[in-house]
A and B are shown apart, each in its own frame.
Chain A
Amino acid sequence: MKTTAVPLPTFRVERSTRTSWLGLVLAIAGVALLISLPWWGGEDDLRLVVEICYTLALAQLWNLLAGFAGLVSVGQQAFVGLGGYALFALTIIAKVPPIPAVALAGIVAAVLAVPTALIVFRLRGAYFAIGTWVMAELFSEIMGQLPDLGAGTGMSLPVAISRAVGATVYERETVLYYMGLVLGIGTVVLVFAWLRSRQGLALTAIRDSEIAAGSIGVNSARTKFAVYLLAALITGMVGALIYLENLRISPDAAFDVIDWTADIIFIVVIGGIGSIEGPFVGALVFFALRYFLADYGAWYMILLGAVAVIIMLLAPRGLWGLLSDRYDIHFFPVRRRVRLE
């Protein structure tokens, strides 16, 4: 019998999509609008955008951990709290100026994430999740024992330090606004770049099959460790920024599981876990629901939890998953597609 060689079809690998170019144009227009906000927006607008920015940053990082690296953490409040406390310690005790202190606070959080990871990485799956929560409680208890940082009742940031951010209220708010904007947009860009890099490819491979990924030379433990440290670094900076704006810190608030993890998890689950667009959609839903239901207190959280539960059961890839499956839109394509020619 004769065999004929079948010619390999020519193909190319596509990484961008038509909608991703549209996304880029929209993103540039949006960023330009946000940069100009201090000239035409009020103080409340600035504060709201900062809050949206850090919420989005936390959501992107949690999504990177849980949606891409399989590290479902319920303890990210550990790094928000550590970042906040590091800011207070650096500015008050070490006299570091506040703006570099925010960046340094992230590094402090990342350094403390190393021993944390060594401990919690011994636990798998759901036990990993609760282990991260225990670590957050541990850090909270330790901060509550430090008299120089206000012990259990917390402390305020001295006026001189908030003056160092900006002499007038307007100047301070503007500086904090741009820091928030840089952190929010920077996190999205960083996560996008990370997922499109070799690291991201390794993560995708691990997510699809850890054993198969290992067999082609992906070092799963090291890849996950790197993601965990990256998330701690940025989460720490976000925490520092939050407490530079709040001016007051206490262990209970800084390590609060509801504010810094539960809300964030709901945002990612509702928006769509495992995509960069998901946290945007989730944050939109979150802030809209809060705007309309702020007066209902506990009912608001009950509704948010119920929506998240229903979405997890019926549409595990969230609202964005439904949309992008239906219309094939990808603003932030992290996949590679093979096209035959």
Chain B
Amino acid sequence: MDWVNAIVQGALVGGLYALFAAGLSLMFGVMRLVNIAHGDLIVLAAYLGLVVVNATGLGPFLSLIIVVPVMFVLGYILQRGLLNFTLGGDILPPLLVTFGLSIIIQNALLEGFSADDQKLQAGNFETASLHITDQLAIGWFPFAIFLTALAVIGLLEFMLYRTALGRAFRATSDDSDTARLYGVRNRHVYSMATALALAVISIAAIFLAVRVNFDPASGPARLLYAFEAVIIGGLGSLWGTLAGGVVLGVAQAIGAQLNPGWEQLAGHVAFLLVLIVRPRGLFPRLVDG
């Protein structure tokens, strides 16, 4: 039963990877921008949560009331003021500018908060679990992560296919020049995409910060998880990304169950296997241009 427990927990935690990945996927989908600083922005949001919790005494989840809008605005400004200038035919500028941004954020956090581990406390909620049978128990916290991932991805899908903004996103994604002819303001649309991506990141960041210790150098590993979930799931499909996150979470859980040192290794191996067997992922929608 240890195995069943581990796999169920892994699948639920996969929701966290899906939340990491949703923002990456959205930005790539709308403007073909791969943000190398994605993981560092997650960690930045986690530190922002820490600051809010310490300053106001709010619980970690309530701190989202402040963290989400701040990250949303930051995302808009980041895109409008910097990343928009990197877009164009060449892949080098966006890649290298976001890579530089990643190093800047890491070192700024190091300067501001030192290299010490940090964590957000959520009390009993972190460890409480729902007993299903004597041997099988589902932690409330992983369960909440998964439900949140379902809700966030559901809302993003709704936004993409049922709202004017979503229509602008899809139009720009398909053909940005033609979309402009129809009055879509590309620079604004791109900025909204990044703003939304950073809002989603904030939710993921708070879950991350409650679940594990984090420090200024924790970002790149989160970028890699997000990337693996996107590729496993298939480009351009948000539900696929959720599936990718679950595959990654389950693989890590199985690895950890075999040998505590194999957790990360198993995740990477699962990613490689998918890339070898199904190079376009499990549920591809976009053609990578």
Write the chain A residue with the least CB distance to B228: A134
* Any A CB within 8 A of the CB of B151: no
Contact A313 B97 (CB under 8 A): yes
B96 touches A134 (CB 8 A): no
Contact A124 B108 (CB under 8 A): no
Q: Are A141 and B99 in contact (CB under 8 A)?
A: no
B160 at the A interface (CB under 8 A): no
Q: Judge whether B276 is part of the interface by a CB distance below 8 angstroms.
A: yes
Chain A CB within 8 A of B107 CB: yes
Within 8 A of A (CB), among B80-103: 82, 85-86, 90-97, 99-101, 103
Cβ–Cβ contact A122 & B34, under 8 A: no
Determine how close the nearest CB of chain A comes to the CB of B215; give it in whole angstroms.
13
Q: Which of B95, B107, B265, B275 contacts A122 (CB 8 A)?
A: B275
By the criterion CB–CB under 8 Å, are A302 and B34 in contact? no
Residues of B within 8 Å of A304, CB to CB, are: 103
A148-166: contact bitstring with B at CB < 8 Å (1 yes, 0 no)?
A: 0000100000000000000
Surface stretch bound by B, among A48-56, A88-96, A235-243, A265-273: A265-273
Q: Quick check: B108 and A312 within 8 Å, CB to CB?
A: no
- Which residues of chain B are within 8 angstroms of A269 by Cβ–Cβ distance? 96, 100
Q: In the complex, what's the smallest C-beta–C-beta distance from B43 to chain A, in angstroms? A: 15
In the complex, whether A31 has a CB less than 8 A from a CB of chain B is: no
Contacts of A169 in B (CB 8 A): none
Partner of B95, one of A119, A126, A138, A152: A126
The 8 Å CB contact of A316, one of B92, B99, B224, B276, is B92
| Chain A residues positioned under 8 Å from B94 (CB to CB) | 126
Question: Is A262 interfacial (CB-CB < 8 Å)?
Answer: yes
Are B100 and A309 in contact, CB atoms less than 8 angstroms apart?
yes
Q: Is A137 an interface residue (CB 8 A)?
A: yes
Are B95 and A129 within 8 A (Cβ)? Answer: yes
Chain A residues positioned under 8 Å from B155 (CB to CB): none
The size class of the interface chain A forms with chain B is: 35 or more
User: Is A66 on the interface with B (CB-CB < 8 A)?
Assistant: yes
Contacts of B92 in A (CB 8 A): 66, 72, 273, 312, 316
Question: Given that A74-B36, A129-B34, A145-B261 are known contacts, is A265 also in contact with B96, CB under 8 Å in the complex?
Answer: yes
Among residues of A, the one whose C-beta sits closest to the C-beta of B288 is A124
Interface size of B in residues (CB-CB distance below 8 Å): 44
Instruction: Tell me whether B224 and A130 are in contact (CB under 8 A).
Output: yes
Query: Is B70 an interface residue when CB atoms closer than 8 A count as contact?
Result: no
Q: Which of B53-96 contact A (CB under 8 A)?
A: 82, 85-86, 90-96
A133 touches B101 (CB 8 A): no
The answer on a CB contact under 8 Å between B107 and A316 is: no
- B220 proximal to A (CB < 8 A): yes
CB-CB under 8 A from B91, the residues of chain A are 70, 72, 125-126
- Which partner residue on chain A sits nearest B224 by CB separation? A134
Chain A: minimal CB distance from B286 (Å): 12
User: B103: which A residues are within 8 A, CB to CB?
Assistant: 258, 262, 266, 301-302, 304-305
Docked CA distance A170–B42 (Å)? 49
Q: What's the minimum C-beta distance from B180 to chain A, rounded to whole angstroms?
A: 22
What separation, in Å, do the CA atoms of A316 and B36 have in the docked complex?
Answer: 18
Interchain residue pairs with CB less than 8 A apart (8): A119-B272, A144-B261, A269-B96, A297-B110, A301-B106, A305-B100, A305-B107, A308-B96
Enumerate chain A interface residues (CB-CB to B < 8 A).
66, 70, 72, 74, 119, 122-127, 129-131, 133-134, 137-138, 141-142, 144-145, 152, 257-258, 262, 265-266, 269, 273, 297-299, 301-302, 304-306, 308-309, 312-313, 316
In the complex, the 3 A-B pairs of residues with the closest C-beta atoms, listed nearest first: A126-B34, A298-B107, A309-B100
- Given contact pairs A305-B100, A312-B92, a sample of 15 additional A-B residue pairs in the complex whose CB atoms are under 8 Å apart: A119-B272, A131-B275, A133-B224, A134-B227, A138-B265, A138-B269, A262-B99, A265-B99, A298-B111, A299-B107, A301-B104, A302-B104, A305-B101, A312-B100, A313-B93
Q: Which residues of B contact A (CB under 8 A)?
A: 33-34, 36, 82, 85-86, 90-97, 99-101, 103-104, 106-108, 110-111, 220-221, 223-224, 227-228, 231, 261-262, 264-265, 268-269, 271-272, 275-276, 279, 288-289
